[in-house]
Structures are given as C-alpha cells and as structure tokens.
Structure 1
Amino acid sequence: MIPFLDLKAQYSQIKPEIDAAVARVVSSGHFVLGPEVTAFEGRFADYCRTAHCRAVNSGTSALHLALLAAGVGPGDEVITVSMTFVATTAAILYSGARPVFVDVDPVTWTMHPGSIEAAITPRTKAILPVHLHGLMADMDPIMEIARRHGLVVIEDAAQAHGAEYRGRRAGSIGDLGCFSFYPGKNLGAFGEGGAVVTDRPELAGRVSLLRDWGQEAKYDHVIPGYNYRMDEIQSAILNVKMDYIERWTEARRSLAERYNALLSDLPLARPQPPRDARHVYHVYAVRLQRRDDALTLLRDAGIGAGIHYPVPVHLQRAYAELGYRAGDLPVTEMLANEFLSLPIYPEMRAEQAAEVVSTLRNAAACGPAKPSATRRSIHKAS
C-alpha cells in the first residue's frame, strides 16, 4: 500500500515540536493575529524573498484579498488559466471581476505568454498566472506584457512554496503572490491557512485592513473588510514546519529525479522544467493517452494516484455562465485528459517510487502522450 500523501508520517517525525507549539498557544490565551502570526509572517516573507507577508485563513482568501488590494472590482477582467483548482476562478468572481481564460504551454503546462495579448481588452485589470504542480509560469514575458499594458500581476503560488524562476522565488516577481497552507501543500498547516506576499507596502497595508474587518484599530473600521484572519495555532505549526521546508523540498526533488530515471524508457510524457527553474513537485504528473486505464491499474495495486485536474475550470458546470465550450482551450483540455499524478511526499522511500513505476509498466500499452503542435513552448530550457 503506497498512499498518494502521508501526513501522519510527517507529523510523527516532528510530533514533540508540534505538540509543544500548540500547547504554548493554548497556554498563552492569545488565539488570533498574535505573536505566532507575526513571527510566521516575517519568516515566510524572508523565505519568499519579499518585504512583506500577510497571513490569512486560506489560499482562496489570499487570492481574493490580493485582487481587492490591487483594485480589481466589478466590470474588470482578469486573465488567468483554466488548468488550476477552481479557487483561482472563484476568487476573481468574488472580487466582482470576470475571469478570461488563456491556454497553457504544452511543455511546461503553465500560462502560455503568447496567448495573453490577444485576450487583453480595455477592461483588463490584471494577469493571474498559476504556478502548476510546483513549477513557476514563464514570468519574464508575462511581466513584460503586463507592464507594457499597465496591468497588475498576481501570482497564484498555492502549489509553489520555494519554487524559483531564474533565481527568483515564487511570489516575489508579480505585484503580489498568494499561497495556500492547506494540509496537503508542501508547507501545510493542520487546517486551513494562506498568505499574501509583496514588496509594496501600500498593498500589504491594504491586505492587513481587508483581512481584519477593515480595522485600523479595534472598532475603528475605515473600509469594509472580511474575517480572513489566520489563527495562532496554525501559525505556530507553520513556524515549526519552516525549519523543515527546505529539507522536505529537496526530498521531493530527489524523488522526482528518481521517477524521471525510472520512467525514461516508458511511452509517456514526463515533466520537463527549464534548466533555470526550481520545480518543487507539489505534484508529480505524467501524461499518457489511456490515462484512466493506468489509474485503475495503480489503484487496484494499492497505489494512491490522482488527476490534477480532470475537468478544467472552463468546462466545469459551476462556471458554465462564463460561456466557454469544449475546444476553446485545446492544450488545457488535452492535458486534462492525459494527466496522471503519482505519489510524492518527503517521507516516501525510493523503493516505493520504484514500485509505482513497476506497476505503471504494466500500463505501458496505455500509449504515450503525443506532443501537441497546437502551441509552441516559449518557456524553453536553456
């Protein structure tokens, strides 16, 4: 039995530190936006190499507040991708704006910069690239387009803690970066949590107000706000885990290298990050044509596997009113039909990865994922 993710194994390794941190908060009697939150904000800002971090209660809240802080509102459009979790789209709609989807690159699976300019209209306010599976989008051309058109860039880095693009950390390139600390993330709380990072003090200040009912001081509400505060227990847990995130990240990267070597002779497409990127492998996904058959074989063998994501957002029934149809985003739809996510977590052993691949070999007849000529990759290895 190989689980897709083993959170119990991680907890068992750091149990004394976690238990002590939780007990410290309970004994303090201070449970919301206290010293643990402040300490975590400083540590995570340093980790992301940004000047400011504001902790909130979820990654969705982080996206929502980043959009509001950037001035996105009713009548605006935000360019993003459909190959993502629905929270990206939901946050745009929460702000009153309309998501405009562009296709992704067939090699990196992230926002294709060559698709952006055709989607810009007089109503476009922001670009929201998603760093998928732990690999950052091709940020330099995205930023160049945004600056030329006077647009805000908000990074959805919910899956990319510690990822790098040409030496720069996820969340540090755009105007704002948004993270999730959902338990399964590379840096996960024991419940919900999120953060917004930025180098711009006015945006950080705006997020601070918005997350805490618009208060400058207790009962002094200067703008309408939200109850999006992070609690002290989650911050205390994250402060413990900050001591381990690099060790865990390198363990993921080592397992990914192991997978790469073991899968090299199989008829499937593997992740191909550029040489100047640090992929942190929140998800290790491959592509194969008869994906569902392979998924069944793995699960029947007791191996946890999944799909990230089987139905892209533009084809979800919940967002039918946006007016997209099958065929509108051909690369995104191709990937949704071919993605297969294999188990990967820091506590996983190399021999378990070998067992996963051995089982996957039995599905070799499922056929390869054929390269698509629909888009040319701009985010090339160099």
Structure 2
Amino acid sequence: MSAAPAGAPGADRLAALGGTPAVARRLRAAHWPVVTDLDRRAVLDVLDGQALVSDTNGETAVSRLEDRWARFCEVPECVAVSNGTTALATALAALGIGPGDEVVVPSLSFVATALAPLHQMAVPVFADVDPVHFTLDPASVAEQITERTAAILPVHLHGRPADMDALGDLARTHGLAVVEDAAQAHGALWRGRRTGALGDAAAFSLQVTKNLPTCGEGGLITFADPATAAQARRIRQFGEDIDPGRERRYLSHRLGWNHKMNAVQAAFTLSQLDRFADYEAARQSQVTRFLDRIGELPGVLVPTAPAGGSHAWHILRLRFDPAAAGLPGSAAAGYRKALHRLLRAEGVPVSRYQLRSLPRQAAIADRVGFGAGYPWAAATAAEPAPRTAVADAIIEDSLTLQKRHLAPDAGPALDAYADGFAKVFRNLDVVARMALA
C-alpha cells in the first residue's frame, strides 16, 4: 500500500477520514538495533571463553571496550558499568558529590538525570532549557547556583550537545564539577570535541535503543582525571581494588555497589562499534534530508546541529506553532493533539515521549525520597524553586520520532514520513477543526 501522488484524485484525503495512509505498513516497523552474524559471533566467543565478568583477571571484552571508547572520545579513562543511570550516579560519587550538595539539572530530560543525584543523597535543582535546542539554558543555571551547589549536570538531550562553553565558564567561576549526561549523544561534537570529553566526567547509556547499543543494558563513563576514574572502578566493585595480575583480596576501601558490566554486553557493543561510523554517516544524510523537508512546513520547528559541531539525532523532537501555521485561534496543546492523531493515522509513528517536566514527576514532586523525605529533609536551606516554563511549553507543543530513523536503511521510511507530514499540512483546515473540538 502506498500513497497516491500529490495532485492525484484522493491524494490529499486524510487517512483518519478514510483516505490511503501516506506511509506503507512495511515502513512503520522499527528495526533497531541491526544485529548481524558478526554480533552473534562476538557474543558466542565470550560464552565459549572464561572471561564472563569484568573482574576477571587479565584482558576482557569489558576492558577492551573501555580502552576503545576512551580513545574514541579522546579522554584518559573510561569505566564500564551496568547501565546509563548507574553511570551517572557512579560519576557523581567518584567526584565526591553527596549529602548536603545540590546538583543543577535540566527540567526537561529522562528521569534518570534527576534520580542520579538523589541516589547520592544530593538534591537536584532544576534549571530551564533552551526553547530551540532543548538543552540547559546557561542563564537559568546561573540563577539556580547557591553556596551548596557542587555540580552541573548538562544533558545532551536527544543527541544535541548542550552549550558547554557557557556552562563550563559557570562551573569554573563557581568551582563546580561538570558531569555530562551523554546517554543519547554518542559521537556528537561540540566545537570539534566529542561529547564525553567536555567536562570532568560523562555518562553514556548503551541500552538497546541507543545509537551505540548493547544487547540489553549497559553504560560507560569517561573521565578527564585518572584518579577519579580509579574511584569509579572502586565504586562499581563493592569499594574494592581489582588489579590486573593480582589475586582478588576482597577488601572494600570505600562504600561501593555492584555496578559492573558483563563481558557479553561489552562484546556486543564492541561489534556494533565497528559499524558505528557507517551507521552515523547514513543517519546524518537521511535525517537531515527529512528535517529539511518538514522544516519548510509552516510553524514546524525542527532540531539543528550546533555551529562547529554535530547532532547525534537519537530522538527527533519537533515543535508546532499554530499561529505560524496560520491558525492563531488554536491552543498549542489542542493543535499538537490533532497533529498527533492525524499523523499517526497516516502511518507516521510520532509520540509524545515525555508527559511532564522532571520536577513535576511524582518521584521528585512527592519528596518521599528515602522513606522520610531525604535528602531534602537533611538540607540546611531550601533549594531554589524549579524553573520549568520553557520545558513545560515544549512538552505541550511537541512530538517526537524515536528509533525508526536510527538504522542505515531508514531513508525510505523517513521520506514516507515527510510525505505524511506534507499531506497533513495540506489539510490544516481539518487540523484546525480538530484542535478546537
């Protein structure tokens, strides 16, 4: 099934009203990650060997992945852990962030960004985000810094690097640590430098939906300082020191957890990393072509790469302005809701992804924390009030595309999605009526 060409009889009849969907059914499924025989062989090689865990003496798939990712990011050290959330928490712990500290985080992000400080008994303080790039607004961060602030946690949201120049200046002025949440930004560039090399530490997720995946869950942490990385290795292994060539002594030198990555996960990611550059090149070409097309539609704000850098395009978030589309009487939420329904009917797999900003999530807003309101209950003073105006507006008027554009053969699907957008926008009168219903 395919859409009739524009101008043909019935070509513009919306699928929600009985027309033919713009996107053929075969183009709607998400095929990510791409799993090849090479990936299967890498996993089987680990299963056929003896080095199944990261604390095995000698070289393992985990240590090889750490070395390779450190070289890729051009940083001194990388530490592999069990997932992206433990990567964030471990990085904060290794930098000494803990009770009594505040960590400035963006109001728009996946909830793990706010949970990681809480897991260290630190208080997350919420700054607002840029309305175009969706990353931390440095001016809002400056307003949230107090004498208790210990770190800034910028998120390279959806794959677009945050303004690390301005945020780095703030950190240096106030003596703060910078931990990048690069969970969605593998390989993205800021002023010619890769994410992972722009702060004191950076956390990457290898969860199976990410641009660089493992076969389940996994995480990587990069460090600018080898001594801090050594602390992270202790933290992931019960506070122990695991030294190559030396028998394990079972001595814990500090509070630690069991945050290790296993060798099967690492081997799968190493195999995926062999193809990462090719997949990224295809994504840059196909996604930018798609965004160029829909960016010409009235009132559609598309994401962009930073000057002198790049966007990883992990998620594509699109904002919709009804006034700019010639529908000034439509409220943002109603307009977005109408577009959501009509685009989905055309076979364009848009979704909302987030329904509320971080400080409005129950896990944060209820302040139950560790059973008795901690860490907030232990704070010597109230933290600054959350800044959420822009984040809330973005959630109200935006939709996202996830996963469908990540594979190297996603070009035909993206072209069809652009056809679906164009078809809906040729029927803005219908959108307007639905938005007011």
Q: Structure 1 residue 66 and structure 2 residue 66: aligned?
A: no
Name the counterpart of 2:350: 305
In terms of mean alpha carbon deviation, does 261-270 or 80-89 score higher? Answer: 261-270
Deviations 1:257-290 (A, max 9, x none): 1112211321211113332121110011211142
Aligned residue among 233, 248, 251 for 2:279: 248
Amino acid at match of 2:124: P
- Deviations 1:191-220 (Å, cap 9, x if unpaired)? 100011012011100000000111114311
Code of the aligned partner of 2:53: V
What runs of 5+ residues in structure 2 fail to find an aligned partner? 1-24, 243-247, 321-331, 368-381, 433-437
- Superposed, which structure 2 residues align to 1:178-327 within 5 Å? 178-217=203-242, 218=248, 219-267=250-298, 268-288=300-320, 289=332, 290-321=335-366
* Structure 1 segments of 4+ aligned residues over 3 angstroms from their partners: 2-5, 321-324
Question: Matches of 1:7 and 1:149 in 2, distance apart?
Answer: 42
In 1, distance between residues paired with 2:193 and 2:353?
Answer: 25
Q: Secondary structure at the match of 1:207?
A: helix
Are 1:335 and 2:366 an aligned pair? no
Corresponding residue to 1:361 among 422, 430, 433 = 422
The 2-side partners of 1:196 and 1:65 are apart by 8
1:120-159 superposed matches below 5 A: 120-159=145-184
User: Which secondary structure state, in structure 1, belongs to the residue aligned with residue 301 of structure 2?
Assistant: coil
Aligned to 1:372: none
2:379 aligns with none
Q: Equivalents in 2 of 1:349, 1:55: separation in Å? A: 30
Contact 2:192 2:308 in 1 (8 A): yes
Q: TM-score, length-normalised on structure 1?
A: 0.90
Q: Deviations over 1:88-126 (max 9, x none)?
A: 111110000000000111121110111122111111000
Q: Contact conserved, 1:209 with 1:223, CA < 8 A, in 2?
A: yes
Q: Which moved more, 1:288-297 or 1:118-127?
A: 288-297
Q: Which residues of structure 1 form unaligned runs of 5+?
A: 368-382
Instruction: Give deviations 1:146-202, integer Å, cap 9, x for gaps.
Output: 011110000000000000100011010100000000000000101100011012011
Q: Is the 8 Å Cα contact of residues 92 and 99 (structure 1) preserved in structure 2? A: yes
CA contact (8 A) 2:82 2:260 kept: yes
Maintained 8 Å contact 2:295/2:301: no
CA distance, structure 1, for counterparts of residue 65 and residue 87 of structure 2: 15
Q: Contact (CA 8 Å) 1:45, 1:51: kept in 2 or not? A: yes
Whether contact under 8 Å (1:4, 1:344) holds in the other structure is: no
Question: What is the Cα deviation at residue 327 of structure 1?
Answer: 9.1
Higher mean displacement: 268-277 or 23-32: 268-277
Alignment partners' CA distance in 1, 2:28 and 2:408? 11
CA distance in 1, matches of 2:256, 2:145: 30
Contact 1:131–1:159 under 8 Å retained in 2: yes
2:411 matches 1:350: yes
Deviation at 1:224, TM superposition (A): 1.7
- DSSP 3-state at the match of 1:7: coil
* Separation (CA, whole Å) in 1 of partners of 2:423 and 2:356: 26
2: CA distance, partners of 1:49 / 1:275: 21
Paired residues in the alignment total 363
| Structure-2 residue corresponding to 1:379 | none
Offset of residue 23 of structure 1: 1.0
Output the CA distance in 1 between the equivalents of 2:336 and 2:355. 10
CA 1:203–1:5 in structure 2 vs 1: closer, same or farther (change >3 Å)? farther
| Offset at residue 4 of structure 1 (A) | 6.4
**Cross-structure match for 1:377:** none
Question: Cα–Cα, structure 1 residues 358 and 199, in superposed 2: closer, same or farther, change >3 Å?
Answer: same
CA contact (8 A) 2:190 2:306 kept: no
Task: Provide the secondary structure at the position in 2 that maps to 1:310.
Answer: coil
Q: Which moved more, 1:56-65 or 1:264-273?
A: 264-273
The DSSP-based 3-state class of the residue aligned with 1:335 is helix
Q: CA deviation at 1:307?
A: 2.4
Contact 2:347–2:417 at 8 Å: present in 1 too?
A: no
Measured in 2, the distance between the counterparts of 1:145 and 1:5 equals 40
CA RMSD of aligned residues (A): 2.0
Q: Is the 8 A contact 1:310 1:339 kept in 2?
A: no
Partner of 1:27: 48
- Greater Rg, structure 1 or structure 2? 2
Match of 1:39 in 2: 64
Tell me by how many angstroms 1:5 deviates.
Answer: 3.2
Aligned mates of 1:155, 1:328 — CA distance in 2: 20
Alpha-carbon separation, structure 2, partners of 1:62 and 1:79: 17
> Which residue of the partner structure matches residue 75 of structure 1?
100
Task: Name the aligned partner's letter for residue 394 of structure 2.
Answer: L
Indicate how the Cα distance of structure 1 residues 176 and 108 shifts in structure 2: closer, same or farther if over 3 A, else same: same
User: What TM-score, normalized by structure 2, do the two folds share?
Assistant: 0.79
The residue type equivalent to 2:421 in the other structure is: L
Provide the identity percentage: 35
Mark the CA change 1:16 to 1:123 in structure 2 (over 3 Å): closer, same or farther: same
Correspondence 1:93 to 2:103: no
The whole-number CA distance in structure 1 between the counterparts of 2:50 and 2:349 is: 40
